[in-house]
Copies of this chain bind each other. A is one copy, B any other.
Amino acid sequence: MDRRSFLKTLAAALAVGNARVVAVEFDPFPPAPRLGKPLSPVGERSRFEAHVQRYISPNLPSRHTGAAFAPISELDGIIHPNGLHFERDHAGVPEIDPKKWRLVIHGLVERPLIFDLETLMRMPTESRIYFIECAGNGQNGYREPPEPTLTATRSRGLVSGAEWTGVPLRILLEEAGLKPEARWVLAEGADASAWVRSIPIDKALADVLVAFRQNGEALRPENGYPVRLVVPGWEGSIQVKWLRRLLVADQPAMSRGETSEYTDVRPDGTVDAFTWVMEPQSIITRPSGGQRIAPGFHEIRGLAWSGFGKIRAVEVSTDGGKTWQEARLSEPVLDRALTRFTLPWRWEGQETVILSRAVDEAGNVQPTREEFFRRWARNNRYHYNGIQAWRIRADGRVENGDPPLAGGPVPPLRAGGCGGEVLDG
């Protein structure tokens, strides 16, 4: 090898499909590095990655109720690291001593039961990769007029993917023995909000996990340490964190979290309660709002998911919706898990708008903004899953590309809410 030949600037042109990217200056033979850092009992992130954080709105009236968004603009794959899994609290994160933790199961059961953590962990378990999504995900995405500086993280970052391990709730309920009149399981958290949500008995017996592991290790405190419910495909707020009590009943609790919050407003002003299942979503994470790209080859990457099952397809448009191409789905494509889609793309420097649209195995199609607001009122706060558009400016800057809606502004939200962000005062 002629080492000198590497010391000059290379400007080799790469051909990725029909694309070209330009190589850069490099001295391939730097001085020998010094001995590095020693082995560590628990690894930490590189200091060069410290900027990759969950997003917390600076306008929140309190950081004890609100949300921290997973930085999906800067993540790849379908698993989120535990420290960056999105967070939604109603009264802060309680600190629970696992030795003192107990779970009681009572109500319409033959044998009321109490578990400590060691007893729970001896029970039969399942490990599954699922998404969890806050019903308020998208609250920043449906603002009208669209906010130009929106990022993928702020538009749709109240979702995360992880592997959860826990005991099937079915097994615990069978241990307790359901009485014939049992219809609902009321789950209560140990945080100061005394969070309660009601789960219909069929779902409780189907696939709910009483989970104590998140990506292999103990749950993180903000995700329910030591034990939470995982309710596959359903809205996050029913996946009760810091679980302490399961009351089996013949009717739902009609709690705050299923009446004043987490209900959906129809255009005629009536309200749907118990809208549990998360509709199909997708979002392009790269390139996305706030990023800046150079002409040439890019892989468009994004996330799709649906509470109804597997993602069947994701279609991507790079010309503002005139034409659509089917993206590649990265294996494994799992039931009610995040799915990564990719599409090779060459950007020539023209201004354009890119969009993605998810279709799930049940045949549900992610709607446009206009379609969403034909189904739901303009002041509805939950379950927004409208297509997110990104505008690529001629200088490579990426902005919110959502089209304005007919009918004028959406009323601003007055409280932090699940979306976690207050833009107006």
A residues sitting closer than 8 Å to B (CB atoms) are 1, 5-6, 10, 12, 14-16, 21-26, 28, 32-49, 52-54, 56, 60, 62-64, 66-68, 74-85, 87, 89, 91-95, 97-98, 102, 104, 106-107, 111-116, 119, 122-129, 161-165, 171, 175, 190-192, 194, 213-218, 220-223, 225-226, 244-245, 247, 296-299, 301, 330-332, 334, 340, 342, 344
CA distance A286 to B10 in the complex (A): 55
Residues of chain B lying within 8 A (CB to CB) of residue A33: 94, 190-192
Residues of chain B lying within 8 A (CB to CB) of residue A32: 192, 194
Residues of chain B lying within 8 A (CB to CB) of residue A217: 45, 49, 52, 74-75, 80-81, 84
By Cβ-Cβ distance, the 10 closest A-B pairs, closest first, are A36-B92, A38-B63, A41-B53, A76-B165, A77-B127, A75-B216, A26-B102, A36-B93, A37-B93, A36-B94
Q: How far is the CB of A314 from chain B (nearest CB, A)?
A: 14
Residues of chain B lying within 8 A (CB to CB) of residue A62: 38
Q: List 15 A-B contacts (CB under 8 A).
A: A12-B111, A16-B123, A21-B119, A26-B102, A36-B191, A39-B89, A40-B54, A41-B56, A42-B45, A49-B225, A77-B165, A78-B163, A80-B215, A81-B216, A84-B216
User: Are the CB atoms of B41 and A54 closer together than 8 Å?
Assistant: yes
Q: Taking the full assembly, how many copies of this chain does it contain? A: 2
User: Are the CB atoms of A215 and B41 closer together than 8 Å?
Assistant: no
User: Are the CB atoms of B92 and A35 closer together than 8 Å?
Assistant: yes
User: Are the CB atoms of A42 and B54 closer together than 8 Å?
Assistant: yes
Residues of chain B lying within 8 A (CB to CB) of residue A194: 32
Known A1-B106, A52-B218: A24·B119 in contact at CB below 8 Å: yes
User: Are the CB atoms of B113 and A10 closer together than 8 Å?
Assistant: yes
User: Are the CB atoms of A114 and B10 closer together than 8 Å?
Assistant: yes
Which of A10, A24, A163 counts the most chain B CB atoms within 10 A? A163
Question: From A296, which residue of chain B is reached at the shortest CB distance?
Answer: B122
User: Are the CB atoms of A36 and B127 closer together than 8 Å?
Assistant: no
User: Are the CB atoms of B98 and A48 closer together than 8 Å?
Assistant: yes
Known A36-B93, A75-B217, A213-B75: A1·B299 in contact at CB below 8 Å: no
Which of A76, A91, A92 counts the most chain B CB atoms within 10 A? A76
Residues of chain B lying within 8 A (CB to CB) of residue A5: 112
Contact for A87 among B39, B77, B81, CB less than 8 A:
B39
20 additional contacts (CB under 8 A) given A21-B123, A36-B94, A77-B216:
A21-B122, A24-B114, A24-B115, A26-B104, A26-B114, A26-B116, A28-B102, A28-B244, A36-B95, A40-B54, A43-B221, A45-B218, A45-B220, A46-B225, A48-B98, A75-B213, A78-B163, A124-B344, A125-B342, A128-B331
- SS class, residues of chain A in contact with chain B: loop
Residues of chain B lying within 8 A (CB to CB) of residue A164: 77
Contact for A68 among B40, B80, B107, CB less than 8 A:
B40
CA distance A77 to B119 in the complex (A): 18
User: Are the CB atoms of B84 and A42 closer together than 8 Å?
Assistant: yes
Contact for A222 among B1, B43, B218, CB less than 8 A:
B43
User: Are the CB atoms of B128 and A220 closer together than 8 Å?
Assistant: no
Residues of chain B lying within 8 A (CB to CB) of residue A6: 104, 106, 112
Q: How far is the CB of A109 from chain B (nearest CB, A)?
A: 10
Question: From A47, which residue of chain B is reached at the shortest CB distance?
Answer: B95
CA distance A68 to B85 in the complex (A): 25
CA distance A288 to B220 in the complex (A): 25
Residues of chain B lying within 8 A (CB to CB) of residue A244: 28
User: Are the CB atoms of A64 and B85 closer together than 8 Å?
Assistant: no
Contact for A43 among B124, B191, B220, B226, CB less than 8 A:
B220
CA distance A169 to B31 in the complex (A): 26
Known A36-B91, A216-B75: A23·B127 in contact at CB below 8 Å: no
Q: How far is the CB of A215 from chain B (nearest CB, A)?
A: 5
CA distance A6 to B106 in the complex (A): 9
User: Are the CB atoms of A97 and B48 closer together than 8 Å?
Assistant: yes
